[in-house]
Structure 1
Amino acid sequence: MGKADKYWHIQMYKPEGKGGIEIDSMKMLQEPNPVIGTGESDALDCFQFKDVENGTIVFVREGNKALALCEIIDEAFRSNELENKYYNTNYRHVKILAWAKDYKQPRPQLFSQGTFKSCKSSTEQYHYIDEWLKYIKIMENLKKYKTQVLSNKNLILSGAPGTGKSYLARLIAASIIGCDKDKLIGSKQFQFVQFHPSYDYTDFVEGLRPYQKEGSNDIGFKLEPGIFYSFCQDALEDKENNYVFVIDEINRGEISKIFGELFFSVEPSYRGPKGNVTTQFANLHKEENEFDKMTTDNKRKIKRKGNFFVPENVFIIATMNDIDRSVENLDFAFRRRFPTEYIKWDDTLDSILETLTISFKEEAKEALTRLNQAIAEEEELGEDYTIGGAYLLHLKDMGDANSSLEAFWNSYLGTIINEYLKGLLSQKDLKEKVTSLKNKFLEAKTDKQ
């Protein structure tokens, strides 16, 4: 067994071989301490099963049906109790990494033959297992971020450009709402907005908007709710469901100007009526709204108009790029209300590559990995300047691996890195540095030993 023996497959449902008794091997995986097992023979499969190292990944199947992905966690053993139930002789305890019902079934042609066999890296079955493990990692990260949002009500995803923060925010939102990501658009439970320097309170909360008076050419102004105000109104009327508001590039907006008095209301401990504030245009409210109905001035025992609060079922996810100069100016009062999760370039790379339909994904992944390792080690750059996987999506419009990667560098990456380094080096040193990084990116793939 060598370096290629990274993944294995096992079939346990015929412990006596062809023509013998058949068992429900799923029950072995559902034991209080899950196990996999084989019969006893002089066959290589049996020897390898007992000899393979702890930590080995095993794909469990019954014929053409995938059951689970497991990790071996202890040495081979025998058990009369287990043998009486399952007829296998040798057993290994395993940790269940994932069930096939939560993933896609492979095509039947993917399956290798044998009871307990290594899945060589040249086989389709190997790549199926590899992709499944990447999916597991994606789901684990998604679960972590979802838990943070549900407990804190707010979350900022920060990181280098192209790390898929906006895409990740949508995945988290879909998970919290309980729908498919592709069904977010059009759902009243989801809203996406991108901040920019001219965005202000009237866009976000409420403000005066011009309108043409009926029957004349005169222009008047009337109070209109902003996008966040309207979103919170919908959430207030639908308390049983979760609502997710995503703010893209939050640091590009002037936060104090946009949120105004809402700093208080977005804080997790002040959600609901207890976090009520009076809006800047409260005196223009003529009719009582849902926020007014749930708010009382305890001192004067009267109802006021123009109240607002953020409902308990509203969750806010924001994204920002760490290398933007405006990050340093992000209001501290706001930042302390929003926990921040740093997204590294390789955290989302596999999920981004899942959406890319090109024949040279691995070559592109290896090229980006080499480049980012070099960038992280550069004194003038560092981890914050690494290149996110979202840039690789441009490869779908290009040709084969070699010509595409070079064209990709010339059209995108070279320009970005040149911009990063401009002003930090002399023209001569800048050219040499960019050329050195280009060579790293385009370096010929070496054969794995």
Structure 2
Amino acid sequence: MPFAVRTFLVRILLIKVKRVFFTNWNVPLEERKGGYSEGTGGVWICFKFLWENGLTWKDGRTESFDRLRGFVGDNFPCPKKGEITSTHSNFSLGFGKSENAKCAATLKMGWNAKTYPDPDLENSLEGSLEQITRDFLNFVNRFNTIPQGDFKKMDVSKKYPLNQILYGPPGTGKTYRTINKTLEILGFANDQEITAKLQELKKPIPKDERTRAKVLFDYYKQEGQISFITFHQSYGYEEFVEGIKPSMDSKKTGEVTYSVQEGVFKQVCNRAWKNYGRVQMQNKQGTREISWEDYLDHLICDFNTFMQRMIDKKQEFFFDSDNKVVVRSFGLEASLLVDLENNLSLALDEWVKMVKGNYSDFKNGANLKEAEHAKYYFMLYRKIWEFEQSWYCPKTYVLIIDEINRGNISKIFGELITLIEPDKRAGNSEALGVVLPYSQEFFNVPKNLYIIGTMNTADRSIALLDTALRRRFTFEEVMPEPESLKDRHIKDKDEDTGIDLSRLLKAMNKRIEFLLDREHTIGHAYFSELETLKDLQDCFKNKIIPLLQEYFYDDYAKIKAVLNDNGMLVSETMQDASEEDEDLRDTSLKNSLKNLVDPNKKIYRITNDKCDEWEVNCFKKIYNDKAWDKNRKEK
């Protein structure tokens, strides 16, 4: 395309956007949209000419190492004559944002740029001028429909405690909440941010909000940033930190050998430490505390190890976005790449030397030096860049400990109970470390590791929580939420029964509080999935009544009071038993037990073993004294 045509295209775009607010590189958005302060984060509309070696993703998304030829703004750097040559392969148009842009507007913009493929540069780009202009105006209109308030900077400075415990009665959703708590700590405070991240990861977007959160949670769990364990009475230091464990050498002699193996806590600490160390190294390189050469040596070594592990696990690792160039072997000396499209096997000899000579230029957008197989080396540089962006950026790690109070804390944490304190974490002025007893390694806890525990306050099978643990954790109470059941309707034969689960749960819990305490109330989760009358009957028979039996030590008079004498439990005396049971009519229980048992003592039983006779009014009676069971009255 002639230079004049390209310049005309640039001028057309600039004329079209005079009425739109945009921001330049490193110019706070508050100057354009207002309210966005502190830092250089911003949102803009940009367009780019990309070099032929600046490959793009399938969706047209471009990366920062592509050669930027322009972005819309007051100081648009119009390409000079001679700068735009036939080496430009396509044109990209779309929204742009800085890495630290945190505002609601970023959640309403699609970040997939539109590209205009250019197999024949002289014709196609010129022929696309009108389409590019229309697309650009569409971007402008979308930009202008976003309310000005959405450009105000989000509060991303919220502090989360490094150690916290969610505690409350059973069924209140403590474990359920750990997923959302974890995602908040990782930087996803709402569903919009979760959805945006799933889009960025190119994962299917489930329709249900909870499912979307679980998908993202599982992704970070697979990536090693989240670990989940459950404490129990047999859990110990060897499983949590490290211990000597047996293993069988089945390949050779079949002998049993013993080795020191890491526990869950040490493993997640090591992952957090590696990330923390890489970030510190990158920061030191930025401040010239270490040389670029030393930094690059560590980067290459980490990348090589990562690639080798992928290949050892028999996982396909593609160098390109079209999945046509795959790595078959990888090493510091040479690598074997296979171009599936061209049926070509290629050995990249001395790739380390090439990376050390060209990677800095690649990151800065300079022209790459001529090299044999430059196309494949460019793919390699891009993969290293992606690896650097992922592995050398600050990451947060979360360890979830379910039922934390069921374990012997002193036995499990050992000497590490001190190290998890926030001010004792590595990097702080009061940081401490210990030498582990088995491996004899020096160990301390990084400050990018968060611990979330859950605790059931109604569990009477354990001792009181360790005082040392209480002092090092913050506690958040999770109580029953009857209001969450207001929209849940119980049906019988496709008709609404009118049973108000919210009032039912609230009434039972209030009685439990007076008879016992608030720590033994019943959680809403017991009722959250119920749909039919049969579901509700089974829930009371198999969950609620057994739970109440445990709470009140089989004191059925109190259980009957909690149920408001709704007919699920009935009492009888010795006289009643003799009269009502035909098999006992020929004997007098009262006379035979007169010196051993109070003649007025009552025993209780569940009225219906199959619970299918508990009608609608039987449940309504729990929260409404005027409700009555028709079947019971007739009998």
Normalising by structure 1, report the TM-score. Answer: 0.54
* Cα deviation 1:261-305 (Å, max 9, x = unaligned): 11111001111152211112133xxxxxxxxxxxxxxxxxxxxxx
Match of 1:244 among 398, 410, 433: 398
CA contact (8 A) 2:248 2:256 kept: yes
Higher mean C-alpha deviation, range 208-217 or range 326-335: 326-335
**What is the CA–CA distance in structure 2 between the aligned matches of 1:199 and 1:205, rounded to whole Å?**
11
Match of 2:627 in 1: none
The offset of 1:353, in angstroms, is 8.5
In the other structure, the counterpart of 1:209 is: 245
Partner of 2:546: 415
- List per-residue Cα deviations over 1:83-104 (Å, max 9, x = no partner): xxxxxxxxxxxxxxxx99999x
Q: Residue in 1 aligned with 2:178?
A: 169
Hey, what's the Cα distance between the residues in 2 that align with 1:366 and 1:195? 35
Q: CA deviation at 1:178?
A: 3.1
Match of 2:561 in 1: 433
User: What letter is aligned with 1:206?
Assistant: E
1:12-55 C-alpha deviation (Å, 9 max, x unpaired): xxxxxxxxxxxxxxxxxx999xxxxxxxxxxxxxxxxxxxxxxx
The Cα shift of 1:327 comes to 5.6
Question: Who is 1:154 aligned against?
Answer: 163
Summarize the alignment of residues 9-408 of structure 1 with structure 2, pairs less than 5 Å apart.
147=158, 150-178=159-187, 180=194, 181-182=213-214, 183-185=216-218, 186-213=222-249, 214-239=251-276, 240-272=394-426, 274-283=431-440, 306-325=441-460, 328-346=463-481, 350=484, 363-376=500-513, 378-379=514-515, 381-396=516-531, 399=532, 402-408=533-539
| Cα distance change of structure 1 residues 404 and 366 upon mapping to structure 2, 3 Å threshold | farther
For residues 345 and 266 of structure 1, what CA distance do their matches in structure 2 show?
30
2-structure distance, mates of 1:410, 1:206: 44
CA deviation map 1:135-172 (0-9, x unaligned): xxxxxxxx9xx95xx44310111110111011112210
Q: Tell me the equivalent position of 2:50.
A: none
Per-residue CA deviation, residues 366-420 of structure 1 (Å, 9 max, x unaligned), is: 32222222322x32x2211111111114525xx2xx4543332222211211221
Deviations 1:211-267 (A, max 9, x none): 123510210101111111111111112231111111000011111111011111100
- RMSD of aligned residue pairs (Cα, Å): 3.6
Are residues 372 and 282 of structure 1, via their aligned partners in 2, closer, same or farther at CA, if it must alter by over 3 Å? same
Deviation at 1:365, TM superposition (A): 2.6
CA distance in 2, matches of 1:357, 1:216: 64
SS at match of 2:243: strand
Equivalent residues, number: 275
Contact persistence 2:489–2:499 (CA under 8 A): no
List structure 1 segments (4+ residues) > 4 angstroms apart after TM superposition: 99-103, 356-362, 437-441
For residues 234 and 246 of structure 2, the distance between their equivalents in structure 1, rounded to whole angstroms, comes to: 18
Give me the TM-score of the superposition, normalised by structure 2.
0.39
- How is 1:437-448 mapped onto 2 (pairs within 5 angstroms)? 442-443=619-620
Structure 2: which amino acid aligns with 1:395?
L
Aligned amino acid, residue 448 of structure 2: N
**Letter paired with 1:339:** T
Task: Give the structure with higher Rg (CA).
Answer: 2
What is the CA–CA distance in structure 2 between the aligned matches of 1:196 and 1:237, rounded to whole Å? 30
Structure 2 residues not aligned, in runs of 5+: 1-32, 36-103, 109-154, 189-193, 195-212, 277-393, 568-616, 625-635
- Amino acid paired to 1:225: E
Q: Equivalent residue of 1:410, what SS?
A: helix
| Preserved contact between residue 321 and residue 327 of structure 1 (Cα < 8 Å) | no
